[in-house]
Structure 1
Amino acid sequence: MSTGVNDNELIARVKAGDQQAYAVIVQHYQGYVFTLVLRYVPNREDAEEVAQDVFIKAYRSLADFRGEARFSTWLYTIARTTCLSFLRRKQQPVHSLDQPGIQEAASQLSTTGIPGIEIKTKNELLRRAYGLLNTDDSTILTLYYQAEQSLDEIGRILGIEPNAAKVRLHRARTRLKEKMVQHFPREIKDLSSF
């Protein structure tokens, strides 16, 4: 995730009072932040509000950014904390896939689909499969594949050792594959025929 101008250069300009530089940062990272927020806050309107809060908090805390990690790692930490705070305030129930009825609902969704919506891309299929994973699994997969964070950076974000991050990533990949095979066998077959 790099812009034409280095993130550190933009941050230095923002710290010097250039608000346009922050607009460039927001524009560059808005998709990244929104995708992360959607992992925690599935309601699109709420996710948009939380994503805005993330950028406001990041702007207010920019003086604290020391550049020891990538800006996206620092921004992810703010996004995650903001999401967790939002969920605590909302007290949204967390549903485990082990609860009665959840597996059946997910299974029905995968066989009948949502009216008017077809899975057209691998990204859409992955997004739906991520929704079937627990938050920890979808978070580490998002960090590694979409946010392009290294295992060291993931370890820093999650407060674990890089080797533990590697193990968690491997386990999350395995569970993702299992969910995809279980819930989307037809779509996987269709995609592999291209």
Structure 2
Amino acid sequence: MENGSTDKEIITRVLKGDQRAYEVIVTRYQSFVFTIALRYTKNREDAEELAQNAFIKAYRCLNDYRGDAKFSTWLYTIVTSLCLTFLRKKKLQVHSIDQDHVFELADQQDAGMRANMVEEKSKIKMVNDAIALLPPDDAKLLLLFYKGEQSLEEIGLILGIQPNNAKVKLHRARQKLREKMEQHFAVEVEDYINS
């Protein structure tokens, strides 16, 4: 199986009956899907289950993919929908970024993250932890742009905003991420720079 194939080529093969070709899609997007699910659930086991369910649902609905946008955009919508349904069923509290206590909760979560950082000095984990401290809209923008490799136009479509607005919001989200990294992970960042 050629991993250099485009998503559309792979999807065409799957729709023609080559079910094994779908493994390339799963491999290509498993980290992206898991990261989105983990962002919503804050629980590894739930995120793994939701990621698996997202790939199953995407496979079953592959005929519905029209190709108007990137496959990752379509997949993002499926994952997000499953996560929101999961949260509603679990009746977990979903916070608005307009509520002041969201920032307090993020700071409280930081204490647990610091212990994990001592044990596991992973650059990816450190960045993901810093993203988790951001308001949900900022985290979503960063995940779409960097993990999902979405263009500003695609991000605008997903979020219902203009591409220029997406660019401004992305710039601000990067600044907030830098501040969180400096505030909460200064030692780890210094270790990576000096290593």
Q: TM-score range by the shorter chain?
A: 0.7 to 0.9
> Which portions of structure 1, spanning 4 or more consecutive aligned residues, are displaced by more than 6 angstroms?
none
Corresponding residue of 2:188: 187
Describe the superposition over 1:72-121 as per-residue Cα deviations: whole angstroms up to 9, x where unpaired.
111111111111111111111235794296365345446xx326843523
Letter in 1 for 2:115: I
Query: C-alpha displacement at 1:129, in angstroms?
Result: 0.5
Distance 2:43 2:141 in 1: 21
Distance 1:117 1:145 in 2: 25
Structure 2 length as normaliser, TM-score? 0.86
Describe the superposition over 1:153-173 as per-residue Cα deviations: whole angstroms up to 9, x where unpaired.
111222221111111111111
DSSP-derived class of the 2:61 partner: helix
DSSP-derived class of the 1:114 partner: helix
Distance 2:136 2:117 in 1: 28
Q: What does 1:1-194 align with in structure 2 at a 5 Å threshold?
A: 3-94=3-94, 98-99=100-101, 102=105, 105-106=108-109, 108-109=111-112, 113-114=114-115, 117-194=118-195
Distance 2:134 2:86 in 1: 20
CA contact (8 A) 1:141 1:169 kept: yes
Distance 1:120 1:34, change over 3 A: same
Distance 2:60 2:117 in 1: 42
Sequence identity (%): 52
Segment drifting more, 184-193 vs 9-18: 184-193
Query: C-alpha displacement at 1:133, in angstroms?
Result: 1.0
CA contact (8 A) 1:106 1:183 kept: no
CA contact (8 A) 2:106 2:133 kept: no
Query: C-alpha displacement at 1:142, in angstroms?
Result: 1.0
Q: How many residues align?
A: 191
Unaligned runs of 5+ in 1: none
Segment drifting more, 117-126 vs 34-43: 117-126
Distance 1:137 1:116, change over 3 A: closer
Query: C-alpha displacement at 1:193, in angstroms?
Result: 2.5
Distance 2:14 2:153 in 1: 27
Structure 1 length as normaliser, TM-score? 0.86
Unaligned runs of 5+ in 2: none
Segment drifting more, 87-96 vs 157-166: 87-96
Describe the superposition over 1:8-34 as per-residue Cα deviations: whole angstroms up to 9, x where unpaired.
111112222221122332232222211
Aligned-residue Cα RMSD (Å) equals: 2.4
DSSP-derived class of the 1:59 partner: helix
Distance 2:153 2:130 in 1: 26
Distance 2:116 2:14 in 1: 46
- Identify the structure with bigger relative contact order (alpha carbons < 8 Å, sequence gap 6+): 1
Describe the superposition over 1:28-47 as per-residue Cα deviations: whole angstroms up to 9, x where unpaired.
22222112211111111111
Distance 2:110 2:28 in 1: 36
DSSP-derived class of the 2:119 partner: coil
